[in-house]
Amino acid sequence: MKWKVTVIVRLKEGLNDPEGRVIGNALRNLGYAVENLRVPKCFEFELDSEKPEKEVEEMCRRLLANPLIHSWEYSIEPVS
């Protein structure tokens, strides 16, 4: 069966996010009252699998994220 997968990878809380800091500073310079801006990565793909949760979790641990510094979440929906 085919699945549509969306994976969001974020730096763990408390870790420095230089890209988020730069973008947050730029937005504040433009007059927006933003705080603690973080920049996650989003991966979207289709997967042909009988056990999509197991495979997506494995993908996150092996390549899409570094378990030491990242957390992740994902959604899996059937392709219509």
Domain architecture of the chain: domains with CATH: 2-78 (3.30.1280.10)
HSE-up of residue 74 (Cα within 13 Å, Cβ side): 24
Read off the pLDDT band of 75 (50, 70, 90).
very high
Radius of gyration of the chain (CA): 16
Residues 6+ apart with CB under 8 A from 64: 7, 9, 41, 43, 72
Give the model confidence (pLDDT) of 9-64 as tens digits.
999 999 999 999 999 999 999 999 999 999 999 999 999 999 999 999 999 999 99
Q: Which amino acid is at 21?
A: R
- Closest-CA residue to 65 (of 6, 13, 10): 10
